Chains A and B, each alone.
Chain A
Amino acid sequence: MDTFSKRKFIIAGIMLGIAAIFILRLFTIQITNKTYKQFATRNVLRKITTFPARGLIYDRNNKLMVYNKAAYDLMIIPREVKSFDTTELCRIVQLERLDLREAIKKAKQFSYYKPSIVVGQISPDIYAPLQEKLYKYPGFFVQSRTLREYPSKSAAQTLGFVGEVNQRIIDEDKYYRSGDYIGVSGLEKAYEKELRGIKGITKSMVDVHNRIKGKYNEGLEDTTAILGQNLMTGLDAELHAYAELLMTNKRGAIVAIEPATGEIILMVSAPTYDPNLLVGRQRSANYNILDRDSLNKPMWNRAVIGRYPPGSTFKLANALIALEEHAITPFDRFSCSGKGSKPISCTHSHVSPLAVREGIRESCNSFFWNAFRQIMNHKSNSAESYQAWRDYITSFGFGQKLNPELSSEVKGSIPEASLYDKWYTPGRWNAMTIRSLAIGQGEIEATPLQMANLCALIANRGYYITPHIVRAIQDTNRVDRQLSFEKKVVNISPEHFNTVIDGMQAVVDETRTLGATVHLDDIIICGKTGTVQNPHGADHSAFVGFAPRDNPKIAVAVFIENAGFGATYAAPVAGLLIEKYLNDSIVPKRKDLEQRLIETDLLNVAVVKKKP
């Protein structure tokens, strides 16, 4: 007799009970709880970014100024790493053991499953041996990248550099992710959107070992990377290199503009650096060195941020205004007593009295004081006259930023009448009070770019085109999209330009020093020197000029800090650049001059001077 028959119910009950618990549990994890579904997509979906090559930058002769070279990042997926020979890996990638350990630790903190960069931007010559040995290091792989390369090693500040995005940029612009690159300065910054292209995203399904198992959603959500657009500039790479050579061991800036188009041919800032220094693994170390050089400030683009009193070069502007306002005629003469002149002494003795042509030639302070006084007395009161003068000056491009593409450009300074009202109270100031402006000193500040622009305006006899570096943007189909620029006509009659240009030609052809250093036999160069008084040290040497006189091809402004007379350094540098640009070579008799300029070391003199 089976007395325990009823126990079958208990056994069956236990079984059904467990099954019921399971079903309840499955109900919660499969239906009520949604978090598992989110976990699941995070598990398998891997977004892989393809980086487009950054756009190239060409010079005016279609010569490459910036291109991309291959570089490689050594990546790590910490989960897959097995023990390996650290010494060998460190030797191959030229890394300290501690740095490697630190990088791996950082990668682990970021994620065990996602790749992180261990060593970024490995050059191809390191990559080759690394690739051969990579099989020994499970969990490591190499991702290809592109790095900027600057073949002419010049125009560093103008071209700018790229760097890794910081957190602020990532927060502001959704396009960027940690580790992306962005233009930090110069053209790289100004044309970031054109140059960077558009990143592509490939969504792949990956397994637990991060191996790609196929496309997600049949690739429907994938986007392909779009190449960056190329910049076609008006820069002359060869001339740039030559200009930088001439500026060796000097501090200053050069800007050259093609007057007819407004294209910037040269934009040199000295001291400069090799732009290739700010690329690749050494970037941050080199950046710190350059950034800390507080004396030379090599990363400053003095051509657009240097605020120099224009000095005597500014007399050209005053001459134009005085003629246009009929404050003087081309034949009005003023006398000069040389160093004894009042209220502004003149630098040297010369013929007297003299009219505007000779005034420009001799850079006569007395003449320009008189001319300026005439302008200031022309209207009913000083403030009104000053305002009229200021309107002319600003129409020449002073006191404003000329082109937003030059991202670091400063306005310079042409004071408002209200400033003098504030300083001297209204009605209590006149030509005498602000006489420094007559000779380009005092409260006015201009950038080398603005001075070059003034020169281009004179060369064009009355107008300038917004100066610009990039003339066209080449899209991915290699079709150029020409950029258009505003033509700005100034309210000065053409005959007045001829008067001033006569004076400028006389500067080069009729004065002793420039006749020897700047004058060319085959091309008429028109120019004006400047010796800029500088309260902080020795005078700055300045020169603006254009050539040829008819149908000018180049207008240039040169500023060399603490170099003394304009005629000594700035003028011959400009002369050589004009000759090089127009004739492609330097005549033998000027080779000595060239050599002397290259070898002149004004930087270290300045350093010595600063020491007590």
Chain B
Amino acid sequence: MTLLDVKDLSIDIHGIRPLDGISFSVDKGEILGIVGESGSGKSLTALSVMGLLPLIGGRIERGSISFDGTELTTLKEPAFRKLRGRRIAFITQNPMTSLDPVIRVGAQIDQVARLHLGLDAKAAQARSIEIMEQLRIPEAATIYHHFPHQLSGGMKQRIVIAMALAADPDLIIADEPTTALDVTIQAQIVDLLVELVRERGLALILITHDMGVVAQTCDRVVVLYAGRVAESHDVTAIFASPRHPYTKALIRCIPREDTLPGSLTGIPGAVPSVAHYPPGCRYHPRCARMGVPCEKVVPPLEHPTSGGEIACHFPESNGGANV
């Protein structure tokens, strides 16, 4: 069943609109990937769902975010606070800076259970250590008393994940949880997250710029470009036949074993900044398939019979439906 349903979401930050009509949904036990280069609006999507836009001076302009039947866009802050950390948990990008440096890591995990589950200090500590052990943190009872600066990056990210799990949430939003880590640690952390979702039946939104991670972990994927949905579909379908030129380009960026060092290429050009979105399809200045309408007409988000969604005037035809 649908746990989180985001419909036609647009946000406003100081008079600009970095997210423009985003829709997606996540079911229980499902892993949804949200993919795009930096600047495409992935992190803002996370903040919108968490109700934390006001922190950066933003607000929801239009659309709805429905979580387990509750409408979040109109939810008052005290009620929202009971959801945050309790039912929707957040894992941030950089574990190096995500923990309060002057508080012992154990106490930072305790905080969540004490706040949301009403546990006393002792019970919270027992629970935190138990979760740390489940996350395969060695000598959890010792690490519990450490300060963040005494831990490695991978260990810190496990602490952040422990914080996210502390109140048994239904949905975890992980914003580039591995970007700041070593390559070997990255795989461990991703595996850990996937395992948690499968074991506990959680829903996970995995925000990443890496299509390779999506291929390994996600069930479905939403591709964002410059604040709009470019394409979304099941992971198998999207890798079998990407239809949006941007999706295709992202897939081409995945490094393969046979790629020669140095031949790894990104997509030429960069995501336009929010203040300078081009008219029409926002991808057209970088698109090889660009045609006449792309410069002027915004491609509508269509729902082809083959499933998924696509917003492109000239989609790749091998998908079959829109020829």
Same complex origin of A and B: no
